Structure 1
């Protein structure tokens, strides 16, 4: 049998199953790993996703999309291919896609992280013959501190600003990162205010059973209370008239890229907090080894480094050219179809 999954102009295609995985052009049947915009696009005739993703996908793509939800671990057979979805630990509802056919098992990871957080099901290693992995932070320089250390740092920054009567604005991607940050905030410090792009997704998370602290909109907050507030907003709000209403404020950005020299400067913020919903280098290696896969296919990110390293340690590694990463909050710079680490990442990798 040839490769079970190949790249076509529409996206990753399961040949025997005759369906696509996170396709970037409209297709008849799409299996979706998660609801970020670069993986879940409008226009497919039929969607299959995790049951936890259904509400988010409808909120982002339209209530009338034709979508089927599958519980984690539940199996269905389509054109002879047994399909099941398994937690990826990336955001609420994120899933790895397991495909079994003719005695071969392939797993497409989508985006993932191995460190658990309170807002989504933890990553589950799935044994397979071939593993398709992302490589957003696929350089040895990327090593995350424990998330509780980051949460503690954010709360100290917020508390100091509140004591000085200064609003704290924290920029983070509206879906996934914002809710993860919320789960680690200390609401005793002051009110938590959310941008209009964040608050609707908070409701989806709460409806999905995720416990989050109380949040409110700017319009629901007294002006005096804003001086002690932490405001969660998407990166697009930075420098906009919306932020100027807060007067004296300190701002910060939460991203894995904040590990790099110069990234905070380019963002033009006071603070950078290193928190990513993607696996770091040790996490990627841990996930790959846990699958037991003898063939690894690397997508979007630091592809050449990952492929070379995996070949050096004895795995059969190659790459797929995809269009993922274009709308990822983590991406600081990107070229069409292939997200790239900021320029200093290559130098820092050499220095590591």
Structure 2
């Protein structure tokens, strides 16, 4: 069923953006529905998914009509635009921006939004994100156990913010792609209070395809965020990650054998220095070092370089600010 927006106000709107997240969206929504904070809605923004994401989200909207709504976009418009569109259709005084591959303790939402609802602060973010799928080999070679924010009390990254403030300043700049979550601070100067007690679980890429896609997205966005000198260093590092291929070719021919050996040594030196976490023993560590680390570095490099070329030749995102999002066609709101 399709219907217009009904203005039933709540204190908090949790905006969950999702693009082809059928593997994760169910666990995310279950953990949100179970929150001990009561006065909130969940607004799933399906950013043009081609898998079963919308069907699963719609199922939750049918089961929990007073809690879950779904905004479906006919085409993929990028994370920043999806968040901006979600904020326009939200009903809450506070908007919270979360990802579909996250899960949350029962007290997460209440702890995150209380400083804003009390009127003391404009925006907040969690103190730590724990990697939630550390048992996966691709995640082990990703090299993270947590994502922290350091010792700062305030940072330029938001998870929750007053909705009127967010809408009034145009929202995130989607042209920054992967890095759009810092665009709001750079545009407005607004910083978030770090709520140390608010903890969430975030899944890192855990398949070869996800590793490739994540780094394509980073490469596509990198010129819009970093200085050219920084980008040049990144490109050199990713090209070194691909040195295994010319090394294997060069090693076949006597005239280039020493070049091949040199490239081979360079590649395996980078593999040896690669951070691996949560290995259960020597045999698993050996497997991760010999199989998964080389594969991860090659996939990371291929994704990044392909994304960089795509972004270099105009493959960026259009910026849909919060004023334009209100009149955008191709957006359907689903609710019971």
Could you state the TM-score of these two structures normalised by the residue count of structure 1?
0.28
Higher relative contact order (CA 8 A, sep 6+): 2
Structure with higher strand content? 1
Structure with higher helix content? 2
Q: Which has the higher Rg, Structure 1 or Structure 2? A: 2
